[in-house]
Structure 1
Amino acid sequence: MKTIKPSLTLLLSTLIVIISGCASNDISRVPMYESKQYYNYLQPTFDQYLETTTEWLKENRAFITEHDQHEIELAMNAPYSKGDPSSKKAILLAHGLGDSPFSFSDISDSLAEQGFYVQVVLLPGHGSNPRHMKMVNYQDWQIMIDHYAQLLKQQYDEVWLGGFSTGGNLVSIHALDIQGVDGLMLFSPGFQTRTPILEKLTPLAAIFTEGWFTEESNLAKYNSGLLVSALAYSESAKVFRNKIADQKLDIPVLLVVSEADSVIDANALNKYFGQHFTHSKSKLVWYGKNTEFKLPDKVERYSMQRDDLRISTASHMSPLFAPDNSYYGQGGDKIICENSLSSSDVEACNQGKQTWFSAWGYTKVDRIHARLTWNPYYAELEKMMKAIAL
């Protein structure tokens, strides 16, 4: 038998220890809300949280616009509330990894019009400076969601939770762990990625690099990405999968999925819905052709091959935004040209050539694709949100 030299054995042992440490919670770590490098986002009331967070962002955001645009930029990243605080029902919304409360700019309007008092949080590490993501841990995000969800339960007869991507994991974990949630609205939740092997390798990669830093050009989300934040996301997905394995959520769940999602495994979401979201009012909203997957009976299906709108597929983010959204909408200010590894397509898009719209990575001969950032069926989604919460 071939023996391994002691030095190599030590190296392998060290790597295993480091990887194990990266993949688990560090109980000796100071939580972000107690850190001297951050601020205390766990306030006694949501109004105090809004005030504290807005003031902190004014002093600590790395603004990317000219000074006269700072208020717009700040408003897109700060947490907020909408609707009538005296309503009998409320909902807490949580955005995704690298994103901001602006993710729910349209959803929150719709829910407020439907009678919800809406609260939208800014997850720790977000909205300020990508380098603040160095401090994040899954527990920082979960503790925040648990804190403000519990405050709502003390004040309202009916409490719902909603989340996009990573935020969908966090609110689902709360619903599985703690009683008192009356329903969930989940938009492209991050239960399982399309690349589980890469997810498992993230702790190893984090040993050698922080991640990537690039020029920030999007007012509503980070372009840069740190591996420590990817680890926090991965932990949230793992926690959800472990908890849901032997449970069923017998509360109404609206699950919104893009079949061509480049980030999340759409078929995995479909299976979770069929096996674990058992309430009779639960509904799956599916954007795509459904050429591969067997969908359940409780599904609303919409084709995303819309040549009339130059749409080839839905994307991870597209369900969230109405066509008239001022930033991400059909005629909005922001076009995400960085939608593939083709530098020539990206350049052509940036130069203003006509584009089609899709999820990241979709290609077709003789077509340039930018990211689809809005939902051509948003009016139908509004109706679904209203119906499930009645």
Structure 2
Amino acid sequence: MPVLPGAEPYRHEGGEVGVLLCHGFTGSPQSLRPWAEFLAERGLTVSLPLLPGHGTRWQDMQVTNWQDWYAEVDRELRSLVARCRHVFVFGLSMGGALALRLAARHGDAIKGITLVNPANKVHGLAAHALPVVRHLVPTTRGVANDIAKEGATELGYDRVPLHAAYALRQFLRVVDADLPQVTQPLLLLHSPQDHVVPPADSARVLSRVSSTDVREILLEQSYHVATLDHDAGRIFEESYAFIGRLAPSAVEKGSTAGG
């Protein structure tokens, strides 16, 4: 199936600081494209892949699993590590969970991670029924487009494939078990008003990681897809400052080259 217009992956060759951005469940690179372009304009090397089964139609996602999604970001990370002196991983929602697993698995190869409304658990009573219900009902209503800003739209599926939802549930359990292995500096931004991922998920992440350099920021004006919402600019600026603090000389070189 052809990729939906706007859902294409994005890459930019810049300086010696590389940033991998991971989009969310049933979403696409479109939700992080402004963030990626912001970083690219400042001379950074940027990779924003399209996860398997995403960005086309929900039927394509039905035949993928979390190992497919993780393998894609793992390949992109390894490519960035081979080319860049410092590598950071950023993620939204399930992309935040992907970032956390990468951090747990790759250790010092990752300089720092930035998470926006990271997912930690599939919530609701229906989650417990997924092992059975997924064989009886193909989809449920979508979770895309939870944005407070008028006129802003997320390019994502309007249905959630239940086989994929079950895979997500399995993946988030794996990630939760890995959290104590996360030691990198962490910037976590989350929305108190989030209709997809509750603030409890961010609290759980913060309580279980082993990182000692941790900063938490509340996004008071935004819903779940905060990267397209009123607080988007703050996310971009805070994440760039986070990189600048941890790799100051490299960012200065990249900014000069980018300017």
Query: TM-score w.r.t. structure 1 length?
Result: 0.56
Aligned mate of 1:315, from 220, 223, 230: 223
2:200: which partner in 1? 267
Structure 1 segments of 4 or more deviating over 6 A? none
Paired residue type of 1:81? R
Q: Per-residue CA shift, 1:104-130, capped at 9, x if unaligned?
A: 121112222343211111010111122
Q: Per-residue CA shift, 1:272-308, capped at 9, x if unaligned?
A: 214425232x311112xxxxxxxxxxxxxxx44xxxx
Q: Per-residue CA shift, 1:60-99, capped at 9, x if unaligned?
A: 238xxxxxxxxxx52x1110113xx240110111111111
The answer for unaligned runs of 5 or more in structure 2 is 146-152, 245-259
Matched, 1:89 2:22: no
Aligned mate of 1:123, from 21, 27, 51: 51
2:112: which partner in 1? 183
Aligned mate of 2:9, from 79, 103, 109: 79
User: In 2, Cα distance between the equivalents of 1:181 and 1:110?
Assistant: 20
Matched position secondary structure for 2:91? strand
Question: CA distance change for structure 1 residues 224 and 378 in 2, over 3 Å: closer, same or farther?
Answer: closer
Matched position secondary structure for 2:24? coil
1:236: which partner in 2? 171
User: In 1, Cα distance between the equivalents of 2:201 and 2:8?
Assistant: 32
Question: CA distance change for structure 1 residues 223 and 154 in 2, over 3 Å: closer, same or farther?
Answer: same
Aligned identity (percent) is: 22
1:204: which partner in 2? 132
Q: Per-residue CA shift, 1:214-267, capped at 9, x if unaligned?
A: 9xx9771111221011112112211101112xx253212111111121222312
Matched position secondary structure for 1:284? strand
Matched, 1:105 2:33: yes
Paired residue type of 1:286? L
Paired residue type of 1:77? A
Aligned mate of 1:249, from 182, 187, 208: 182
Paired residue type of 1:378? A
Tell me if structure 2 keeps the 8 A contact 1:192–1:265.
Answer: no
Matched, 1:378 2:206: no
Q: CA deviation at 1:213?
A: 7.9
Using the TM superposition, name which of 261-270 and 100-109 deviates more.
261-270
Q: CA deviation at 1:136?
A: 0.8
1:135: which partner in 2? 63
Tell me if structure 2 keeps the 8 A contact 1:166–1:236.
Answer: no
User: In 2, Cα distance between the equivalents of 1:213 and 1:241?
Assistant: 26
The answer for unaligned runs of 5 or more in structure 1 is 1-59, 63-72, 288-302, 305-313, 322-373
1:331: which partner in 2? none
Q: CA deviation at 1:194?
A: 4.1
Matched, 1:286 2:218: yes
Matched position secondary structure for 1:388? helix
Structure-to-structure mapping, 1:322-333, within 5 angstroms: none
Tell me if structure 1 keeps the 8 A contact 2:187–2:239.
Answer: yes
Aligned mate of 1:147, from 53, 75, 100: 75
Matched position secondary structure for 1:77? coil
Tell me if structure 2 keeps the 8 A contact 1:249–1:276.
Answer: yes
Aligned mate of 2:121, from 192, 196, 200: 192
Matched position secondary structure for 2:89? strand
Aligned mate of 1:174, from 70, 93, 102: 102
Matched position secondary structure for 1:135? coil
User: In 2, Cα distance between the equivalents of 1:230 and 1:315?
Assistant: 21
Query: TM-score w.r.t. structure 2 length?
Result: 0.82
The structure having more radius of gyration, on CA atoms, is 1
Question: CA distance change for structure 1 residues 378 and 143 in 2, over 3 Å: closer, same or farther?
Answer: closer
Paired residue type of 1:79? P
1:61: which partner in 2? 2
Matched position secondary structure for 1:161? strand
User: In 2, Cα distance between the equivalents of 1:263 and 1:207?
Assistant: 24
Matched position secondary structure for 2:90? strand
Question: CA distance change for structure 1 residues 384 and 130 in 2, over 3 Å: closer, same or farther?
Answer: same
